[in-house]
Amino acid sequence: MPDSEKLQLLLEYSENLPDVPSKYGENPELMERVEECQAPVFIAVEGNAEAVELFFSAPREAPTTRGFASVLHAALNGKTAREITDLDDDFPGQLGLENLISPLRVRGMRGMLFRIKRKTKELLDS
């Protein structure tokens, strides 16, 4: 896929990130802040080993971050905990965005995946 199309696709993903349910919208402290992103991004993980639900909150003025969140949501929401924890840690690198977007920015997406995996493990342990 040409680079310009990849950016366009990421922009479309960013527009399609689902809104968080009102309990998170009204209580952002229930979510975890992803510190690796320069934009404020919050994630929450719910469900059980059979089906994990993911929630992301990121501001409209951070479309790249929203795009990353939306790609992760499309890839992982509703999957089993095992499928999530087994996902290659380098999934963000495999999207071929590092040269296009810069490794520093893609690090924010790595941070999101890292936290999703950790919170999924916590879900299994609880």
Partner 1 sequence: MSEQEKISKYASPEALVTTEWLAENLDAVTVVESNEDILLYDTGHIPGAVKLDWHTELNDQVRRDYLDGEHFAKLMRSKGISRDDTIVLYGDKSNWWAAYAFWVFKLFGHQDVRLLDGGRMKWIAEGRELTTDKPSRAEGNYPEVVRKDDEIRAFRDDIAKHQPSPIIDIRSPQEYTGERLHMPDYPNEGAARAGHIPSAKNVPWGKLVKEDGSFKPLDELQTILFEETGSSPQDKFITYCRIGERSSLTWFALKYLVGVKDVRNYDGSWTEWGNLVGVPIAQGEAPGVFA
Residue 74 within binding range of partner 1, rule CB under 8 A: no
Residue 23 within binding range of partner 1, rule CB under 8 A: no
Residue 63 within binding range of partner 1, rule CB under 8 A: yes
Residue 70 within binding range of partner 1, rule CB under 8 A: no
Residue 7 within binding range of partner 1, rule CB under 8 A: yes
Among 30, 118, 122, 124, binds partner 1 (CB under 8 A): 118
Residue 16 within binding range of partner 1, rule CB under 8 A: no
Residue carrying structure tokens 């934009």: 39
Q: Where are the beta strands (DSSP E) in the chain?
A: 32-33, 42-47, 52-57
CA 37, 41, 42, 47 dihedral sign is negative
85 contacts 63 by C-beta, under 8 angstroms: no
Stretch that binds partner 1, among 21-29, 46-54, 80-88, 110-118 (CB under 8 A): 110-118
Would you tell me how many other CB atoms lie within 10 Å of the CB of residue 89? 10
